Amino acid sequence: MNLSDAMAIFLTTPIVTTVLAAFILKEGLKKEIILSILVSFLGILLIVKPPFLLNAMGFSNGVSELTLAGLTVCAVFALFESLTNLVIKALGK
């Protein structure tokens, strides 16, 4: 996995934190926030270009080092970092 792909996935932490805060901490989501989450996620997909998603859509990605295992590890890291942020915020209340 390329370092740039890994960093792009790691930087999904604010998106994951915002979504989890809405469900776990019962924080509200405005339309603007939902729109920015969708645009950010689409931007990350444009950067990372996951081959399994592009192949499913009928596009050819060429040679890519992104694997499902690498993507899973990075996504789990972003999830745990987001949960850490939520615990810190909950302790601060």
pLDDT band at 35 (very low <50, low <70, confident <90, very high): very high
Q: How far is CA 72 from CA 28, 34, 43, 76, 77, in A?
A: 28, 24, 19, 6, 9
pLDDT tens, 37-61?
999 988 888 888 777 666 676 666 5
Q: Cα–Cα distance between 43 and 40 in angstroms, integer?
A: 5
